[in-house]
Every structure is written in structure tokens, then in C-alpha cells.
Amino acid sequence: VGTGPLAGRRVLVTAGPTFEAIDPVRGLTNRSSGKMGYAIARAAAEAGADVLLVSGPTCLATPAGVRRIDVESAAEMREAVLGALPADVLVAVAAVADYRVDAAAAQKIKKGDGGLTLKLVANPDILAEVAARPDAPFCVGFAAETERLAEHAEAKRLKKRLPLLVGNLAQDTLGQDSAELVLFDDRGTHPLPRADKLTQARALIAHLSHHLH
């Protein structure tokens, strides 16, 4: 058992993109390097938490002291997260694909002369599902928006019933080593001016530790 503000707490972090197969060689995915989620997993471990990182495909090394489960699709990510409950905190940083192909092809789809129409179906919202459970951990969401950040972020926080949501502008953050964040909670908004992602992750963990105490 470590020391620190999250000592003895069980923290789940989802990170990276998900990958939804179209056929054995093609798929749908989102832009996400995983850097922010991995930095948060690291910061939570530094704060003494028992951390499980549920990660979509990334090229990143597992932070020290963090357990990691690798998943590919949203469905796999959901199974891993639900299987890891109960927890004290869920930080959902993953850029989960909103849609998957209804029926992925078992064999490579052959190119024709015309176009290709795929039928997409909605993926489950992992964060909203966990946040709605009677034994819900303290749930932190992320919102990457391209415009009107405060409006979209606060709407998302209320819709998913989250005590804390982290907003950022997608074009300022994706793939980069630094980020400018805004925290939205019941007390209002808390800007975190641009800094490297580990610094931001530590600030977020400090903020959420206050919520837990």
C-alpha cells in the first residue's frame, strides 16, 4: 500500500483509441495517441492508487506501477472496465469509437469498381453506463471538442451525470505532448493553462483527490 492522496484507492483509466474491425485487414478508429490517459495513470500511481489502465492500441510504454489490459474494440473495452469494478475512480480518457460495423466481414472485402456502403451501429457508452450504476465510482469524463468547448463540455457532463469533466480543444491537443485543459464540476470551471500532459495529469489527480476527501 502506497502513500499519497490516493493511497488505498482503486483507479481505472481508459486510454487510447478503440479499433472497430471492418474485415480482417481494415477498421475504423479515432485519433488518439493515448498520451493523456497514460500520463493520468502514471499520476494516479504516483498518488498512491492501485491503477488499472484499460488501453486501446497505442505505441506507449506502461507507466511504472500500473497494471494494463490491452483491448481493441469498444465492446472489449467495456468488458474489461465492467470486469474491473468495483473501483473508487474511473477516468475515461479513451477516444471510444461511437460506431462499429454492424457485421464485420470474416474475409477481406474485395475491391469492386463502385463504392462500398458499410452499415454502422452505435457502440455502448462505457462511461455513461458505469456512471449510472448504483455502485458507480467517482467518474471523470473527457470531452474533446472542436468549438464552443464550455457549452458542449458542460452539456456532456450533465447528460452523463459526471461529477467532473475535463474539456479540451481537439485541434490543440491531439497527438501533442502538451495540452490546455478546462475542468468542469459542480463548483464551476477551472482552467489549466497549457502545460505538458504529465503536469496536467498531476493537476487533475490533485483536483479529483479533493473531490474524494
For residue 77, the number of C-alpha atoms closer than 13 Å in the C-beta half-sphere is 32
On whether 23 is known to bind a ligand per the annotation, the reply is: no
On whether 138 is known to bind a ligand per the annotation, the reply is: no
Q: Which of 30, 58, 178, 199 is catalytic?
A: 30
Clarify whether 30 is annotated catalytic: yes
Smallest distance from ligand C5P to CB 121, Å: 12
Nearer to ligand C5P, 109 or 136 (CB): 136
Smallest distance from ligand C5P to CB 42, Å: 18
d(C-alpha 181, C-alpha 188), whole Å: 14
On whether 184 is known to bind a ligand per the annotation, the reply is: no
Nearer to ligand C5P, 113 or 135 (CB): 135
Contacting positions for ligand C5P (CB under 6 A): 14, 74, 92-94, 96, 123, 125-127, 141-143, 156
On whether 142 is known to bind a ligand per the annotation, the reply is: yes
Smallest distance from ligand C5P to CB 111, Å: 30
Indicate the residue type of 191.
P
Which residues belong to the annotated binding site? 98, 108, 124-127, 142, 156, 160
Which residues belong to the annotated binding site for CTP? 98, 108, 124-127, 142, 156, 160
Q: Which residues are catalytic?
A: 30
